């Protein structure tokens, strides 16, 4: 517990701009308070049409739900359609993205300060003592090190872009300030999660982002499906949080510390490969499967697409869902001691990557495709951190944040345009998110089209795009570990580690092929081929305003060149391995421990692996171009039902239904017939409630007899008490 003392003094960062690290989360918190206060002033007024928005851009809002109120309006022309803008929308547009921008600026400043000093030790800033309970002392402390710096830059950087995008996307929503209040609050908790210097602070962030996710998924809560999706996310995540909590209890019981420095100092108390450390890691990983949507708890993420699209981009693609990957990278010391747990992580990650990719093949909702793609890519990240390639896993987290945020925001633009077009033609029957209703959008939205292709090539793993570099690093690491490492020597459920790792590698390759196919399919059906919106609506399709397209351009740039952050040796287009060196102080030792006993891949093997990966990506895209015929597609309402395996895929392997039958229904029925009707009504109500009411009434009666108001009675009771008490004392004597 000695190490709970802050390491501030003497740290090279102590006198730099890093001392303002507390401002990083506090700025979004201020934004939340201000926007929250403004949203309390709920009065929305009919605002002026936004002059900057072209023709119909200002009608947009992604949800049909919010526009229900408009349905009955009798308009002859859409141009005089009153737009409901919040009274304080202007102010909110300034505060919401503004605090993020400030936070990002500070993060960049701290980053430069950090670059110039030796970061062998993390910089811990203890804000205040928090919970002292006997020998457990927990401080609210923030930790700056290369890993948390990376996360902070991603969260504030991508966060700023998405906030700016939201200004356009949500402009006419009556809940505008509420939206930004939640979004700011989310960033606050997310920063707390990655900056926390101990697990309890991290857990506060972990729970906080879950809360914000719930609030934002159900943002348009008047629609029951949205509210249900929010609840599903919340409940499924509770299962994971249970794991996180148990892991924390075990850690404290066995090391006596909960802060990262304290655990590192007491790590000797956990024997290598022992049951305790394995249990701790597995329980942490249970938390990860909830938060980061892995098998078996991934089911909430696709439903979470009910929220506004920028929320999907920020929370359900770029940041919150990667918290599990961060958790494992942060706990790399523990995971490197537990090969069995690490193998489990890699295996579950590989299975999830493949499984989700197959479902992505047959989704029609553009956001659902991206949702399953996110689950699949998260699987890749877990493969990375599972095989002890922590830098590769985190690097994929970063590049994924770039291209997946871009894909989501791009799809947001598409939905925005589709919705505006439907709105203008008073079409409220068709689904603005279904790809069967789109097609041929490239000539209406050329900028979005180009940018989304960049992201698609990146996620598919086409060389030099960012996704190629990070995905290849993961697959390479899996192969390397399979050839020789502590993981290869361990075994899981009787299967040798090396066999498992080769299997994981195969899953990864197969998932890469499927990724290339379903992403190309999405692009073809959305942007290529003939237009299926109908002639009326087609004339209303437009590119989104620049406040939305601008962030897309920045993300497009990052998706294309993000790989330069960590160029591999064989691709010396600039300094290589920058990212690896950056994270070395945090995860270097753990990586070395896992890799012990193996060597680097031979040059020829490495070239063969890269060749295979690239060939698979190209094959996937080519296959999609050859086999898929956008021209043959008909709008959703005319589509025939699918059959066979396609139907199984379209229905996501019926996992939701299986969970419903296997878990939800038994629990509901058990609750209803046994717990409610039997235990609650019968035993609790009958015996305890009525019984205790009877007892209380009986005692009340006795009490009221005693509590007669007669002072004589009171005095007598007092005397009896004295006699009893003195009797007790004398008995002892």
Partner 1 sequence: MNFDLSVPTQLMQALTPDVFLMVGAMALMLVSALRPDSDEHQRLVGYCSIGVLLATLGIVIWFGSRGFTSGPGVIAVDGYRLAADMLFILAALGAIALGIEYNGREGIWNAESHVLVLFATSGMMIMAAARDLMIVFIGIEIMSIAVYVLAGMNRRSPRSAEGALKYFLLGAFSTGFLLYGIALVYGSTGSTNFTTIGHNIVQYKLAHQGMLLMGVGLLLVGFAFKVAAVPFHMWAPDVYEGAPTPITAYMAAAVKAAAFATFLRLWRESFDLLDFAWLMPVWWIAAATMIYGNLVALAQRNVKRLLAYSSIVHSGYLLVAIAAGTNSGSAAFLFYLLAYTLATFGAFAVVCAMSRPGDRDLEITDYEGLWRVRPGLAIGMAICMLALLGFPVFGGAGFWAKVYVLAAAEATPFRQLMPLTVLLVLASVISAGYYLQIVRVMFMKPRPEGAQVPAATGALTRLVLAISVALVILVGLIPARAVGWARNNQPTAPVTLSTAKAP
Kindly list the residues in this chain that would bind partner 1 in the complex (CB under 8 A).
128-134, 140, 692-693, 695-697, 699-700, 703, 706-707, 709, 711, 713-715, 717-718, 720-722, 724-726, 728-730, 732-733
Sign of the Cα torsion 25, 27, 29, 35 reads: negative
Minimum CB distance to partner 1 smaller for 608 or for 694: 694
The least distance separating partner 1 from the CB of residue 139, rounded to whole angstroms, comes to 8
Distance of CA 644 to the CA centre of its chain: 33
The least distance separating partner 1 from the CB of residue 728, rounded to whole angstroms, comes to 5
Sign of the Cα torsion 461, 462, 465, 470 reads: positive
The least distance separating partner 1 from the CB of residue 46, rounded to whole angstroms, comes to 28
Q: Alpha-carbon distance 524 to 369, whole Å?
A: 13
495-496 and 491-492 strand pairing: antiparallel
Contact 568, 576 (CB under 8 A): yes
The least distance separating partner 1 from the CB of residue 413, rounded to whole angstroms, comes to 40
Structure tokens at 309: 């699209």
Upstream peptide bond of 421 is cis (omega within 30 degrees of 0):
no
The least distance separating partner 1 from the CB of residue 374, rounded to whole angstroms, comes to 32
Contact 108, 86 (CB under 8 A): no
Minimum CB distance to partner 1 smaller for 643 or for 729: 729
Count Cβ neighbours within 10 Å for each residue of 684-716 and write b for 16 or more, e otherwise. Answer: beeeeeeeeeeeeeeeeeeeeeeeeeeeeeeee
Count Cβ neighbours within 10 Å for each residue of 423-455 and write b for 16 or more, e otherwise. Answer: bbbebeebbbbbbbbbbbbbebbebbbebbbbb
Those residues with Cβ within 8 angstroms of residue 445's Cβ, 6 or more apart along the chain or in another chain = 413, 414, 417, 527, 541, 542, 543, 544
Sign of the Cα torsion 256, 259, 263, 265 reads: negative
The least distance separating partner 1 from the CB of residue 182, rounded to whole angstroms, comes to 20
The least distance separating partner 1 from the CB of residue 548, rounded to whole angstroms, comes to 38
The least distance separating partner 1 from the CB of residue 338, rounded to whole angstroms, comes to 31
Minimum CB distance to partner 1 smaller for 131 or for 668: 131
Those residues with Cβ within 8 angstroms of residue 693's Cβ, 6 or more apart along the chain or in another chain = none
For the chain, percent helix, then strand, then coil, each to nearest 5? 70, 5, 25
Minimum CB distance to partner 1 smaller for 130 or for 625: 130
Minimum CB distance to partner 1 smaller for 17 or for 136: 136
Minimum CB distance to partner 1 smaller for 137 or for 542: 137
The least distance separating partner 1 from the CB of residue 236, rounded to whole angstroms, comes to 22
Q: Which of 639, 440, 596 is nearest to 523 (CA)?
A: 440
Minimum CB distance to partner 1 smaller for 253 or for 693: 693
Q: Which of 435, 403, 454, 450 is nearest to 628 (CA)?
A: 435
Minimum CB distance to partner 1 smaller for 129 or for 426: 129
The least distance separating partner 1 from the CB of residue 192, rounded to whole angstroms, comes to 14
Contact 243, 283 (CB under 8 A): yes
Contact 324, 289 (CB under 8 A): yes
The least distance separating partner 1 from the CB of residue 710, rounded to whole angstroms, comes to 10
Minimum CB distance to partner 1 smaller for 214 or for 408: 214
How many Cβ atoms sit within 10 Å of the Cβ of residue 139?
Answer: 22
Structure tokens at 723: 């006699």
Minimum CB distance to partner 1 smaller for 52 or for 704: 704
Q: Alpha-carbon distance 382 to 385, whole Å?
A: 5
Contact 312, 160 (CB under 8 A): no
Burial class (CB in 10 A: 0-12, 13-18, 19+), 132: exposed
Contact 60, 165 (CB under 8 A): no
The least distance separating partner 1 from the CB of residue 699, rounded to whole angstroms, comes to 5
Minimum CB distance to partner 1 smaller for 111 or for 130: 130
The least distance separating partner 1 from the CB of residue 130, rounded to whole angstroms, comes to 6
Minimum CB distance to partner 1 smaller for 9 or for 134: 134
Those residues with Cβ within 8 angstroms of residue 495's Cβ, 6 or more apart along the chain or in another chain = none
DSSP character for 297? Answer: S
The least distance separating partner 1 from the CB of residue 13, rounded to whole angstroms, comes to 25
Q: Alpha-carbon distance 322 to 164, whole Å?
A: 22
Minimum CB distance to partner 1 smaller for 608 or for 689: 689
Minimum CB distance to partner 1 smaller for 570 or for 716: 716
Write down the H helix ranges in 576-677: 578-595, 603-627, 645-650, 655-659, 665-669
Contact 481, 488 (CB under 8 A): yes
Minimum CB distance to partner 1 smaller for 209 or for 567: 209
Minimum CB distance to partner 1 smaller for 665 or for 692: 692
The least distance separating partner 1 from the CB of residue 135, rounded to whole angstroms, comes to 10
Burial class (CB in 10 A: 0-12, 13-18, 19+), 336: buried
Contact 222, 65 (CB under 8 A): yes
The least distance separating partner 1 from the CB of residue 252, rounded to whole angstroms, comes to 15
């Amino acid at each position: 517990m000695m190490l709970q003392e802050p390491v501030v003094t003497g740290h090279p960062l102590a006198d730099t701009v890093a001392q303002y690290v507390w401002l990083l989360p506090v700025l979004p918190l201020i934004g939340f308070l201000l926007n929250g206060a403004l949203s309390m002033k709920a009065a929305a007024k009919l605002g002026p049409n936004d002059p900057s928005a072209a023709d119909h851009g200002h009608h947009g809002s992604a949800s049909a739900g919010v526009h229900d109120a408009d349905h009955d309006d009798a308009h002859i022309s859409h141009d005089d359609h009153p737009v409901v803008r919040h009274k304080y929308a202007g102010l909110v547009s300034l505060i919401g993205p503004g605090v993020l921008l400030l936070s990002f600026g500070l993060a960049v400043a701290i980053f430069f300060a950090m670059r110039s000093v030796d970061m062998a030790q993390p910089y811990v800033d203890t804000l205040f003592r928090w919970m002292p309970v006997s020998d457990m002392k927990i401080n609210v402390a923030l930790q700056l090190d290369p890993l948390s710096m990376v996360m902070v830059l991603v969260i504030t950087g991508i966060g700023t872009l998405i906030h700016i995008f939201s200004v356009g996307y949500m402009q006419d929503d009556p809940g505008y300030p509420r939206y930004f209040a939640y979004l700011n609050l989310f960033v606050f908790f997310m920063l707390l999660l990655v900056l926390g210097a101990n697990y309890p602070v991290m857990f506060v962030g972990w729970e906080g982002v879950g809360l914000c996710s719930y609030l934002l998924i159900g943002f348009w809560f008047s629609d029951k499906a949205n509210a249900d999706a929010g609840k599903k996310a919340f409940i499924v995540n509770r299962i994971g949080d249970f794991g996180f909590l148990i892991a924390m209890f075990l850690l404290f019981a066995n090391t006596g510390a909960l802060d990262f420095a304290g655990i590192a100092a007491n790590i000797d108390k956990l024997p290598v490969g022992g049951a305790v450390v394995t249990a701790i890691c597995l329980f942490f990983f249970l938390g990860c499967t909830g938060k980061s949507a892995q098998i078996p708890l991934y089911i909430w993420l696709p439903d979470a697409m009910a929220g506004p699209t920028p929320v999907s981009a920020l929370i359900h693609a770029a940041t919150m869902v990667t918290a599990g990957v961060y958790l494992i990278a942060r706990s790399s010391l523990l995971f490197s001691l537990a090969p069995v747990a690490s193998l489990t992580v890699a295996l579950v990650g590989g299975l999830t990557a493949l499984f989700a990719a197959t479902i992505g093949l047959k989704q029609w909702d553009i956001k659902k495709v991206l949702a399953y793609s996110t689950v699949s890519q998260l699987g890749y990240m877990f493969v990375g951190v599972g095989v002890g390639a922590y830098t590769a896993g985190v690097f994929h987290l970063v590049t994924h944040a770039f291209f997946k945020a871009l894909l989501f925001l791009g799809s947001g633009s598409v939905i925005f345009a589709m919705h505006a077009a439907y709105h203008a033609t008073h079409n409220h029957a068709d689904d603005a998110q279904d790809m069967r209703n789109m097609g041929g959008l490239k000539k209406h939205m050329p900028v979005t089209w180009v940018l989304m292709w960049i992201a698609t090539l990146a996620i598919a793993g086409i060389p030099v795009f960012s996704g190629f570099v990070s995905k290849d690093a993961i697959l390479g690491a899996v192969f390397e570990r399979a050839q020789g490492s502590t993981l290869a020597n361990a075994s899981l459920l009787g299967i040798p580690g090396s066999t498992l790792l080769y299997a994981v590698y195969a899953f990864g390759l197969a998932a890469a092929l499927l990724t290339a196919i379903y992403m190309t399919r999405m692009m073809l059906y959305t942007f290529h081929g003939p237009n299926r919106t109908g002639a009326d609506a087609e004339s209303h399709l437009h590119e989104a305003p620049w406040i939305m397209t601008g962030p897309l351009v920045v993300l497009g740039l990052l998706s294309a060149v993000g790989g330069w952050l960590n160029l591999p040796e064989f691709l010396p287009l600039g300094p290589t391995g920058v990212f690896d060196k950056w994270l070395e102080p945090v995860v270097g030792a753990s990586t070395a421990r896992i890799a012990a006993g193996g060597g680097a891949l031979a040059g020829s093997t490495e070239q063969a692996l890269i060749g295979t990966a690239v060939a698979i990506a190209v094959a996937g895209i080519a296959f999609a171009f050859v086999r898929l015929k956008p021209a043959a597609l008909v709008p959703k309402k005319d589509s025939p039902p699918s059959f066979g395996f396609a139907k199984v895929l379209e229905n996501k392997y019926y996992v939701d239904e299986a969970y419903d039958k296997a878990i939800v229904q038994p629990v509901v029925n058990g609750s209803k017939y046994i717990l409610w009707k039997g235990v609650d009504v019968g035993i609790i109500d009958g015996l305890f409630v009525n019984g205790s009411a009877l007892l209380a009434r009986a005692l009340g009666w006795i009490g009221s007899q005693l509590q007669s108001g007669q002072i004589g009675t009171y005095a007598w009771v007092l005397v009896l008490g004295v006699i009893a008490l003195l009797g007790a004392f004398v008995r002892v004597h």
